[in-house]
Amino acid sequence: MIIVMGTVRVPVENIEAIRPMMAKVIAATAKEDGCIQYAYAQDVLDPELIHIAEKWRDMAALKAHFEAEHMKVWAQERATLGLFDRKICVFETDEGAEV
Protein backbone atom coordinates (compact mmCIF):
# COMPACT_ATOMS: atom_id res chain seq x y z
CA MET A 1 0.00 0.00 0.00
CA ILE A 2 1.12 3.55 -0.71
CA ILE A 3 0.32 6.35 1.73
CA VAL A 4 0.62 9.99 0.71
CA MET A 5 0.59 12.56 3.51
CA GLY A 6 1.20 16.24 3.30
CA THR A 7 0.13 19.82 3.59
CA VAL A 8 -0.21 22.85 1.40
CA ARG A 9 -1.04 26.42 2.27
CA VAL A 10 -3.72 28.47 0.54
CA PRO A 11 -4.06 32.20 1.18
CA VAL A 12 -7.05 32.44 3.50
CA GLU A 13 -8.82 34.79 1.08
CA ASN A 14 -8.79 31.97 -1.53
CA ILE A 15 -10.12 29.17 0.68
CA GLU A 16 -13.74 29.53 -0.47
CA ALA A 17 -12.67 29.66 -4.12
CA ILE A 18 -10.62 26.47 -3.85
CA ARG A 19 -13.27 24.37 -2.08
CA PRO A 20 -15.28 23.45 -5.22
CA MET A 21 -12.04 22.71 -7.08
CA MET A 22 -10.92 20.35 -4.31
CA ALA A 23 -14.34 18.67 -4.25
CA LYS A 24 -14.15 18.10 -8.02
CA VAL A 25 -10.68 16.52 -7.90
CA ILE A 26 -11.60 14.37 -4.89
CA ALA A 27 -14.68 13.01 -6.68
CA ALA A 28 -12.73 12.26 -9.87
CA THR A 29 -9.81 10.67 -8.03
CA ALA A 30 -12.07 8.43 -5.93
CA LYS A 31 -13.12 6.73 -9.19
CA GLU A 32 -9.55 5.90 -10.21
CA ASP A 33 -8.37 2.30 -10.19
CA GLY A 34 -6.28 1.72 -7.08
CA CYS A 35 -7.51 4.72 -5.10
CA ILE A 36 -8.48 3.66 -1.59
CA GLN A 37 -8.71 7.12 0.00
CA TYR A 38 -8.16 10.67 -1.21
CA ALA A 39 -8.94 13.56 1.09
CA TYR A 40 -8.22 17.19 1.83
CA ALA A 41 -9.02 18.85 5.16
CA GLN A 42 -8.70 22.40 6.38
CA ASP A 43 -6.79 22.66 9.66
CA VAL A 44 -8.94 23.61 12.66
CA LEU A 45 -6.37 26.00 14.15
CA ASP A 46 -4.65 27.30 11.00
CA PRO A 47 -7.25 28.22 8.34
CA GLU A 48 -4.78 28.50 5.45
CA LEU A 49 -3.34 25.01 6.04
CA ILE A 50 -4.81 22.12 4.02
CA HIS A 51 -3.96 18.55 5.02
CA ILE A 52 -3.65 15.90 2.32
CA ALA A 53 -4.22 12.18 3.01
CA GLU A 54 -4.21 9.49 0.34
CA LYS A 55 -4.10 5.68 0.21
CA TRP A 56 -3.27 3.81 -2.99
CA ARG A 57 -3.18 0.10 -3.79
CA ASP A 58 0.35 0.40 -5.24
CA MET A 59 2.86 2.78 -6.80
CA ALA A 60 1.58 2.04 -10.31
CA ALA A 61 -1.87 3.35 -9.34
CA LEU A 62 -0.35 6.50 -7.84
CA LYS A 63 1.75 7.10 -10.95
CA ALA A 64 -1.33 6.69 -13.16
CA HIS A 65 -3.11 9.22 -10.92
CA PHE A 66 -0.43 11.81 -11.63
CA GLU A 67 -1.12 11.41 -15.37
CA ALA A 68 -4.93 11.62 -15.10
CA GLU A 69 -6.55 14.43 -17.06
CA HIS A 70 -8.35 15.81 -14.01
CA MET A 71 -4.99 16.19 -12.26
CA LYS A 72 -3.70 18.31 -15.12
CA VAL A 73 -6.78 20.53 -14.81
CA TRP A 74 -6.35 20.67 -11.01
CA ALA A 75 -2.72 21.79 -11.41
CA GLN A 76 -3.84 24.66 -13.64
CA GLU A 77 -6.71 25.66 -11.35
CA ARG A 78 -4.71 25.65 -8.13
CA ALA A 79 -1.89 27.66 -9.73
CA THR A 80 -4.27 30.62 -9.96
CA LEU A 81 -4.96 30.63 -6.20
CA GLY A 82 -1.50 31.19 -4.75
CA LEU A 83 -0.88 27.82 -3.11
CA PHE A 84 2.46 27.74 -1.32
CA ASP A 85 4.59 25.75 1.13
CA ARG A 86 3.64 22.40 -0.43
CA LYS A 87 5.07 19.50 1.60
CA ILE A 88 4.05 16.02 0.50
CA CYS A 89 5.66 12.65 1.29
CA VAL A 90 5.01 9.18 -0.10
CA PHE A 91 5.31 6.10 2.12
CA GLU A 92 5.23 2.42 1.20
CA THR A 93 3.65 0.28 3.92
CA ASP A 94 1.40 -2.65 4.65
CA GLU A 95 -2.34 -2.23 5.24
CA GLY A 96 -1.83 -1.36 8.89
CA ALA A 97 -3.97 -2.36 11.84
CA GLU A 98 -6.78 -0.59 13.64
CA VAL A 99 -6.02 0.50 17.19
What is the reported pTM? 0.92
pLDDT of residue 79: 87
Alpha-carbon distance of 10 to 50, in angstroms, equals 7
Give the residue-averaged pLDDT of 72-89.
93
pLDDT of residue 74: 92
Q: What is the pLDDT of residues 8-51, one digit of tens each?
A: 999 999 999 999 999 999 999 999 999 999 999 999 999 999 99
Q: How big is the chain by its Cα radius of gyration, in Å?
A: 14
